[in-house]
């Protein structure tokens, strides 16, 4: 069981708790006001993505989910440390087939080519970044920057309270990326039943 940083569970034994952290952008104001807290470099990267023709939108069909999955497999190869730990294709297709507005596949494309994507889960005023992938050869177009900026903008427009960008697994570069959006670290616990 994984608690929300804003709703601690404090579960008793035989649960054992593992301390974790995530980075959260508090919404609840205009996207323009939140964008002011982005680092100068982040603002520049987002502007470059737009100038270079990157477009962000929600997935529109299963074929795009298939393309997302292929980019995900490329991403796993690049990381190489997660060999054999891929989520199955059917998981993503099943999530998409539900046609639930709270399961959001955001895609970035440039010049008609799908280059990156993220999966955001929405629930009761919260947005949670759960999964993402990108083609390395398009990093110079900054698609991930524009993807997250778009989710923040849409979350503000929809009245969401916060955008949880997820744990960074102790990777300093990932922490820096999230903090460039004004995200702050929040602690939470993951519980496991231990008999």
The pLDDT score that the predictor gives to residue 125 is: 92
Q: Is a pLDDT exceeding 90 seen at residue 78?
A: no
Is residue 166 within 8 A of residue 40, CB to CB? The reply is: no
For 151, other C-beta atoms within 10 Å of its C-beta total 23
Per-residue pLDDT tens digits for 176-189: 999 999 999 999 99
**pLDDT tens-digit series, residues 149-180:** 999 999 999 999 999 999 988 889 999 999 99
Question: pLDDT by residue (tens digit) across 101-128?
Answer: 999 999 999 999 999 999 999 999 999 9
pLDDT of residue 30: 95
Which one of 45-59, 77-91, 158-172 scores highest in mean pLDDT? 45-59
Residue of 96, 118, 99 lying closest to 107 (CA atoms): 118
Res 82: pLDDT: 52
pLDDT for residue 81 is more than 80 = no
What average pLDDT does range 78-99 have in this prediction? Answer: 85
pLDDT digits (tens, 9 = 90+) for 19-37: 999 999 999 999 999 999 9
């Amino acid at each position: 069981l994984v608690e929300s940083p804003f709703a601690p569970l404090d579960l008793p034994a035989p649960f054992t708790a593992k301390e974790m952290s995530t980075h959260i952008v508090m919404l609840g104001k205009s996207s323009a006001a939140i964008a002011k807290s982005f680092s100068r470099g982040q603002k520049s990267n987002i502007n470059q993505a737009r100038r270079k023709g990157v477009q962000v939108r929600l997935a529109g069909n299963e074929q795009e989910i298939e393309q997302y999955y292929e980019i995900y497999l490329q991403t796993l190869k690049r990381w190489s440390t997660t060999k054999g730990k891929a989520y199955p294709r059917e998981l993503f297709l099943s999530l998409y087939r539900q046609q639930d507005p709270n399961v959001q596949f955001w895609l970035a494309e440039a010049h008609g080519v799908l280059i990156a994507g993220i999966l955001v889960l929405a629930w009761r005023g919260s947005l949670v970044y759960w999964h993402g992938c990108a083609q390395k050869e398009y990093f110079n177009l900054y698609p991930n920057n524009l993807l997250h900026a778009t989710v923040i903008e849409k979350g503000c427009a929809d009245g969401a309270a916060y955008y949880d960008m997820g744990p960074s697994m102790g990777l300093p570069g990932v922490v820096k990326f999230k903090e460039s959006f004004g995200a702050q670290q929040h602690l939470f616990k993951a519980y496991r039943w231990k008999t």
